[in-house]
Amino acid sequence: MKTLTLTEVKSAASILLEGGLVAIPTETVYGLAAPVFSESSVEKIFRVKGRPSDNPLIVHVSSMEQIERVAEDIPYEFYHLAEVFFPGPLTVILKKKASVPPIVSAHLDTIGVRMPKHPLALQLIQEMDVPLAAPSANLSGKPSSTQASHVLNDFDGKIEAILDGGPCIEGLESTVLLLEPKPIILRPGSIEKERIETVLRKKVEYASHLADRPLSPGMKYRHYCPKAKVMLFNSENELANYLKSTSAKTKVIKDLTPETLYHSFRQADLENVEEIAILLDAAHKEHVALMNRLQRAAYFGE
Ligand code: TXA
Ligand code: MG
């Protein structure tokens, strides 16, 4: 796997044109990219990630014009949101154009679209002049990658290159929003419900992430999980009592931030830790996106 830097966007484009896969930096997490209309490359993304074929990919664009190449019957509300939040960590589910290969959307008639806020990602998409389909650049079920070494760890020898844009500024994946028939947040992210409500001037709901019939295929899968068991604690006392009682190799995290969550999980795996004990404070508990990832990691872990 080649590591390309900011002067090598053109090389990244050539690799994609030749059918190779390139990991790309975004403001949220690294993505594993292929041109949206190249069916065999998209198929390779599913293969190298070990991703279930019923979990759709997000399409990344660098201009509003490109959105109309993958989506149709776009509601006017989408343009209001785009004006405020694009480029940025918001993915909106729209009606898919028939010309987009079904594998991208896992045979759904909808497509998730976002414009990443990272100069290298935008440059590469512009250079290709075609939207890039990209899930997060991690093995399926594992924590997302927030720096080049994480991608290397998961995909060295399996993909052609990474465009190294340094550590991701945000560290958690984008907010995924269904617009129609009514606005529902399928995955919380740093663009919060209230900000979307202000722009749409209507109520937005959260989809329950453990719902029986998930609206977003990704919701039913094990996600964001390190090998170690993730345990959440509400007070120093509770944590101290637990640590006295366990004989497992435990990593304690008391200063968790959204930016460092996945790095901590990945470090724990490298250190062969058996348990990760996380102390939560009031600010953590109010952070909807962070709690969503933590609860899923704790719930789905063995
Ligand atoms: O921040 C992000 O969104 C990152 C960067 C690389 O852009 N990407 C990312 O992709 O997190 P991924 O594949 O790990 O997560 C995409 C989520 C999944 O939960 C998937 O099920 C959902 O979006 N999704 C994609 N297309 C959808 C659709 N048409 N309908 C409902 N959910 C969809
Ligand atoms: Mg993912």
Atom of ligand 1 nearest to the CA of 112: 26
Residues within 5 Å of ion ligand 2, judged at the Cβ atom: 136
Round to whole Å and give the CA distance between 160 and 207: 36
Atom of ligand 1 nearest to the CA of 134: 6
- For ligand 1, whether the C-beta of 1 sits within 6 Å is no
Find tokens 């990209």 and name the residue: 134
- For ligand 1, whether the C-beta of 105 sits within 6 Å is yes
Nearest to 279 by CA among 264, 269, 266, 267: 264
Q: How far is ligand 1, taken at its centre, from the CA of residue 243, in Å?
A: 36
Read off φ and ψ for residue 216, nearest 5 degrees: -110, 120
- For ligand 1, whether the C-beta of 165 sits within 6 Å is no
Which tokens in the block code for residue 100?
A: 């987009």
Atom of ligand 1 nearest to the CA of 187: 19
Round to whole Å and give the CA distance between 233 and 239: 6
Angle at 292 between CA 133 and CA 134, to 5 degrees: 5
Q: How far is ligand 1, taken at its centre, from the CA of residue 210, in Å?
A: 17
Which tokens in the block code for residue 158?
A: 């399996």
Round to whole Å and give the CA distance between 89 and 126: 18
Angle at 283 between CA 27 and CA 285, to 5 degrees: 95
Among 60, 136, 145, the mutation site with the greatest number of ligand 1 atoms within 8 A of its Cβ is 136
Digit-coded pLDDT (tens) for 7-44: 999 999 999 999 999 999 999 999 999 999 999 999 99
- Is the model more confident about 212 or about 252? 252
- Is the model more confident about 225 or about 229? 229
Digit-coded pLDDT (tens) for 34-81: 999 999 999 999 999 999 999 999 999 999 999 999 999 999 999 999
